[in-house]
Amino acid sequence: MYAVIKSGGKQHRVEPGEVLRVEKLDMAEGDKIEFNEVMMVGDGDDIQIGAPYVEGGTVSAEVLAHGRGDKITVIKMRRRKHYRRQAGHRQHYTEIKILDIAGSK
């Protein structure tokens, strides 16, 4: 069984037991969270597609950890203009474990 959920402006395809990183959520480690913005639920040949969300579809997960991603370097440069800017960025994330997927039947 799998589902497509929306979190942090992004869509994620998830399955029970999967661990994934989503945009930072304001929750403590060990807390349970339910995603109600489920766009699709699939179980073999039985597929439910929402318009835009599946009615009664929920995905429950547990917050495992919070952290920061790898550093990326942002460089701006204009050739021959003596203009250079360099900045670094590390995105915050929340690591979650998918526990259960429930779709409307």
Q: Per the structure, how many domains does the chain have?
A: 1
pLDDT of residue 2: 95
6-52 residue pLDDT tens = 999 999 999 999 999 999 999 999 999 999 999 999 998 999 999 99
The pLDDT of residue 15? 96
CB 104 within 8 Å of CB 5: no
Residue 91 and residue 65 in contact, taking contact as beta carbons nearer than 8 Å: no
pTM attached to this predicted model = 0.85
Q: Which domain holds residue 63?
A: 2-102
Query: Mean pLDDT score of the chain, rounded to an integer?
Result: 95
Which residue carries 């250079």 as its tokens? 84
